[in-house]
Amino acid sequence: MPELRVCALYPDLMNIYADRGNLLVLERRCRWRGIDFSVTGSGLGDRLDPDVADLFYIGGGQDRDQTLCARDMAEIKRDALHAAAARGAVILAVCGGYQLLGHSYQLGEETLPGVGLVDLITVRSDAPRLIGNAAIEVELEPGAPRVLAGFENHGGRTRLGAGATPLGRLLRGHGNNGEDGHEGVRRGNVIGTYLHGPLLPKNVWFADWLIRAALGLGEPLAPLDDRLEAAAHAEARQAAGV
């Protein structure tokens, strides 16, 4: 039986807006299909084995917690994350976690290091936080646009470098910086987004895409009875006005 192995980075510190719910969705959707599932955690000070998981996950966090994690991630886990990404593991990062995937997160006088997996920088602004329901159009498979809907709340403004591709195009909401109409980042199986909700219960099609990508499956996953999940998605889109 195939198994999806997930490693959650800083599960106690980086988990706001119930971001851990994303892991529950991955677990259920695997088990309902007879795919085994296991999750391990990697916290402050823990060395990371790049082969320990098929999917590495990091949720959102307050600036205070992020400061601790940023240093740890850059000093102790950086090389392992690069090695994992290079072999095609999925890395999914939400909000505060997303900000740490880039080159740096500037917080006032302090500039926190990122792990440099994607070409972007984030600067904490004193301007009003970017808050609200949001929806984006993403095209993970060429020619097949889909919608992700969720909720964002961040003070940081993220700007992608010339070499980076956004995860999606904003339909509603503020996205990376409230200015350029972009949301998130994608480099192969490395994905960052500001969307909480948590994200996956509201967008189970994306959970399934992640499972397939992480396991390297060519075949589509077996369909599930997604009536409740479809209603959750519709409601999230409606909340965003899409």
Active-site positions read 95, 196
Helix ranges (DSSP H) in 142-240: 199-202, 204-215, 227-240
Q: Min. distance of Cβ 18 from ligand GLN in angstroms?
A: 12
Q: Min. distance of Cβ 205 from ligand GLN in angstroms?
A: 23
Which chain residues interact with ligand GLN by CB under 6 A? Answer: 16, 60-63, 66, 95-96, 153-156
Q: Which is nearer to ligand GLN, 20 or 212 (CB)?
A: 20
**Cβ-proximal residues to 105 (8 Å cutoff; 6+ apart), any chain:** 66, 70, 99, 111, 112, 114, 121, 122, 123, 124, 156
Q: Which is nearer to ligand GLN, 47 or 64 (CB)?
A: 64
Q: Min. distance of Cβ 141 from ligand GLN in angstroms?
A: 28
Q: Which is nearer to ligand GLN, 60 or 175 (CB)?
A: 60
How far are the Cα atoms of 63, 93, 102, 189 from residue 127, in angstroms, in the given order?
16, 24, 21, 32
CA distance 161 to 148: 23
Q: Which is nearer to ligand GLN, 35 or 100 (CB)?
A: 100
At 219, list the tokens. 């075949």
Q: Min. distance of Cβ 186 from ligand GLN in angstroms?
A: 19
